[in-house]
Structure 1
């Protein structure tokens, strides 16, 4: 049985997370409220754009096409998510441990995306 390289597993994991998250953003109405509470202009349009970007970029990463471009877009989304939804936890009385718990998946995904971005050769990952 042939072993899959670690890069493949990272691609599959990242793609899975972003595809499922993007689909949920389109199907679950709770996300509309979350985006409305962020104070962003046109929250419904931003939600739709983020969801479609996550689905498309997740699919590109799984198929190992345009990995560098896809990871760049998702890194931007993850940084925005951390700054808009997780950093404010530090400014409340909830403290660092609450922040660390709430931001755990975001931070892990950001690290994995950076690893993919660093190792992706231009157009494809092959």
Structure 2
């Protein structure tokens, strides 16, 4: 892919993960949501995911260590889709799932593109 376009992809993906991670740290509603998911140690899991999103988002936006930064975010997105979005299929149907999972799927695709096509600046 062309360099300038992939630079903007990195900026966009970095922006989404940085803001998402910050929101998880400052909005208390996320604690209740994570507790309701049945995850072990929900507050620790929330903190870990938030810190990973902010730090890896910053690395991706800066085009530094992109493969290493994209990897945990890919796993986070897969987990988010499996834990929070796939159950929607059985309760509300495929169309509702497609609507609710649209951002998660797009971010997963962008992360896979970043992983494959962006050379890392390993400083």
Q: TM-score, length-normalised on structure 2?
A: 0.94
Counterpart position of 1:32: 31
Secondary structure of 1:64's aligned partner: coil
Counterpart position of 1:111: 109
- Within the alignment, does 1:19 sit opposite 2:23 as a pair? no
CA deviation profile, 1:69-98 (whole Å, cap 9, x unmatched):
101110000000000000000121x11110
Two-structure CA RMSD over aligned residues (Å): 1.2
The 5 A counterparts of 1:1-126 are 5-92=4-91, 94-121=92-119, 123-124=120-121
Give 1:39 deviation, angstroms. Answer: 0.5
For these two proteins, the number of residue pairs brought into alignment is 120
Secondary structure of 1:5's aligned partner: helix
Greater helix proportion: 2
Structure 2 gap segments, 5+ residues each: none
Give 1:124 deviation, angstroms. Answer: 2.1
Distance 1:28 1:96 in 2: 30
Distance 2:5 2:118 in 1: 13
Distance 1:124 1:105 in 2: 27
Secondary structure of 1:124's aligned partner: coil
Structure 1 gap segments, 5+ residues each: none
